[in-house]
Amino acid sequence: DFPHGAPWSDMSKATDEGWYGGGALHHFVFGHWYLPDSFNPAVAMPMWPLMLGGWFSIAGVGMLQARLLAVLLFGASLVLMVKLLREEHCGWLMCAGAALLMSANPFCYVFDRMALLEPASVFWWVLGLWIAGRAAAGGWWRPVATGLAIVALVWTKTTAIVLVVSILYFQFGRAREQGRPWVRPTR
């Protein structure tokens, strides 16, 4: 990250790379996550700094540890995606192809290894989809867990609110398949 109060005026100072994990680093360096008169994205998007802070308390503070967390989240996302596809009765070949496409995607490859907030966003989205597929089956805790995954997704990246529609639509479709009384099929 560029230091606060740097004298040069370069457009690269306005980039957001690395700033999102800064709250976790500030917590360990300064004792608090908020720096007055600085860019503090953890105010609106606290999930990644909280996740990093928890991880740093376990694994220590460092770029390697932050990147390791991002890669672990990506791996968990792959596992959840394959589980979700298998539960939707997709064959192993389709599951392997989807995992290969996700793994070979240059966007995923780069952002998952830079310790930015995209791996956490993908994780919360896939987890939300996976829980939503189960939430329609009944029980009060599943819709609550879906809601918590949605909150975590939006607190990770505010623009991820557009992904919430996919989670809710999946939950609605699953409930409709099961003939839930609160979802009437249209004819």
Alpha-carbon distances of 9 from 2, 3, 13, rounded to whole Å: 11, 12, 7
CA gap 21, 53 in Å, rounded: 9
Q: Is 60 left (phi over 0), alpha (psi -120 to 50) or beta?
A: left
Mean pLDDT confidence for 49-57 = 90
Confidence check: pLDDT of 187 > 70 = no
pLDDT of residue 26: 77
Confidence check: pLDDT of 109 > 80 = no
CA gap 79, 58 in Å, rounded: 23
> Are 45 and 90 spatial neighbours (Cβ–Cβ below 8 Å)?
no
**Mapping DSSP to helix (H, G, I), strand (E, B) and coil, where does residue 67 land?**
helix
Mean pLDDT confidence for 166-175 = 89
> Are 120 and 110 spatial neighbours (Cβ–Cβ below 8 Å)?
no
Q: In 10 A of CB 177, how many CB atoms?
A: 11
Nearest one of 156, 155, 165, 54 to 111, comparing CA atoms: 156
- List pLDDT tens digits, range 21-41: 777 777 778 887 777 777 777
Place of tokens 């996700």: 102
Entry pTM: 0.81
- List pLDDT tens digits, range 115-162: 788 899 999 999 999 999 887 666 788 889 999 999 999 999 989 999
pLDDT of residue 181: 57
